[in-house]
């Protein structure tokens, strides 16, 4: 009975407060997302990835850094190595488990840096207009003119190899699409009647942007961030593959593929296993992103 009344409270058409309305809206969004089976599969994979990364010391069967040259290039299922060993005798499963931490670290930092930078640039350009808009958008166009991975390679070459520099390079190449989205949203919102009413009440540009424009841009950015994470993972793996990301002996998935490419014909599992991990996580982000688009932007999802 209590559960039924709780559900009634969340599904009511007449919320009694702003927080009640937010809770009801969130619950309706969750119901829509839950009905999308592919999105739930993606969410399940990502939750599993987070749990694996959190409990890596307990889940990894062996130390991912310990070398055993007498057991190098063992096939999957040999001597307790479920996914086999690499060219230095290290357990591939253990390295994949610890590598999930590096993947989540990169994804989290890029998801915190790039959308925030894009939101700042886009809303300032869209709300201010004039020469400020022209300058900021031309800078954005310059970044968009180069392929993301090529531009990331240029930044890493200038900054130096390393996982932090790789995160910074990917973030510097990922913010322009968010700026475009935020600018388009701002141009639509700034001419709305409620913005005019807020101006009449004496609100300044900073308050209007932070309190009224930013919240309306968040949903579009969340969808774009989720869909972009697959590209971020591939870019990070590409930098690791070229030796410009996480440095040895870190168990970064791209670097593991780079090591395994030398044995791809005779010892396929060395490169295939981290490749499958990248594929699975990228697919999960895309599936979840499609589901979130249907929830947060129904018109675009229907189109």
pLDDT at 297: 66
Q: Can you tell me the distance from the alpha carbon of 265 to that of 276, in angstroms, rounded to the nearest whole number?
A: 17
Tokens 């096939």 sit on residue: 75
Region 51-66: what's the mean pLDDT? 93
Residue 185 pLDDT > 80: yes
Q: What is the CATH number of the domain that holds 180?
A: 1.10.3720.10
1 inside domain: no
Work out the mean pLDDT of the chain and round it to a whole number: 87
The answer to whether residue 20 sits within a structural domain is no
**Nearest one of 39, 30, 34 to 11, comparing CA atoms:** 30
Q: What is the structure's pLDDT at 54?
A: 94
Which phi and psi angles does 289 have, rounded to 5°? -60, -40
**Is residue 98 situated within a structural domain?**
yes
Give the span between the Cα atoms of 210 and 62, in whole angstroms: 49
For the chain, the domain total comes to: 1
> Is 2 a residue whose pLDDT tops 70?
no
Contact 222, 213 (CB under 8 A): no
pLDDT digits over 256-286, tens only?
Answer: 999 888 888 889 999 999 999 999 999 999 9
- Residue 73 domain flag: no
Is the pLDDT at 31 greater than 90, yes or no? no
Instruction: Provide mean pLDDT across the span 105-128.
Output: 92
> Is the link from the previous residue into 255 a cis peptide, with omega within 30 of 0?
no
Residue 126's domain comprises: 44-57+79-302
User: Which pTM value belongs to this model?
Assistant: 0.86
Residue 129 has pLDDT above 50, yes or no: yes
């Amino acid at each position: 009975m209590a559960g039924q009344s709780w559900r009634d409270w969340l599904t009511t058409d007449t919320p009694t407060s702003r927080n009640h309305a937010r809770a009801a809206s969130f619950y309706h969004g969750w119901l829509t997302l839950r009905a999308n089976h592919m999105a739930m599969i993606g969410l399940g994979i990502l939750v599993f990835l987070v749990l694996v990364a959190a409990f890596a010391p307990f889940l990894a069967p062996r130390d991912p850094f310990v070398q055993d040259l007498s057991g190098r290039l063992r096939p999957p299922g040999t001597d307790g190595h479920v996914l086999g060993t690499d060219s230095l005798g290290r357990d591939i499963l253990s390295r994949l488990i610890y590598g999930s931490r590096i993947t989540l670290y990169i994804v989290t930092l890029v998801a915190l840096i790039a959308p925030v930078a894009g939101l700042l640039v886009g809303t300032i350009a869209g709300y201010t207009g004039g020469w400020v808009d022209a300058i900021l958008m031309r800078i954005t166009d310059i970044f968009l003119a180069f392929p993301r991975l090529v531009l990331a390679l240029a930044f890493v070459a200038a900054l130096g190899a390393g996982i932090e520099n790789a995160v910074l390079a990917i973030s510097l190449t990922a913010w322009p699409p968010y700026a475009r989205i935020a600018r388009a949203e701002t141009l639509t919102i700034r001419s709305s009647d409620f913005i005019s009413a807020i101006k009449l009440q004496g609100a300044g540009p900073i308050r209007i942007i932070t309190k009224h424009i930013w919240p309306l841009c968040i949903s579009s950015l969340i969808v774009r961030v989720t869909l972009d994470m697959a590209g971020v993972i591939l870019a990070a793996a590409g930098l690791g593959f070229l030796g410009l990301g996480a440095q040895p002996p870190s168990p970064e998935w791209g670097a593991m593929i780079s090591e395994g490419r030398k044995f791809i014909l005779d010892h396929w599992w060395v490169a295939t296993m981290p490749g499958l991990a990248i594929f699975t996580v990228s697919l999960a982000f895309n599936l979840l992103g499609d589901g979130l688009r249907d929830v947060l932007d129904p018109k675009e999802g229907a189109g």
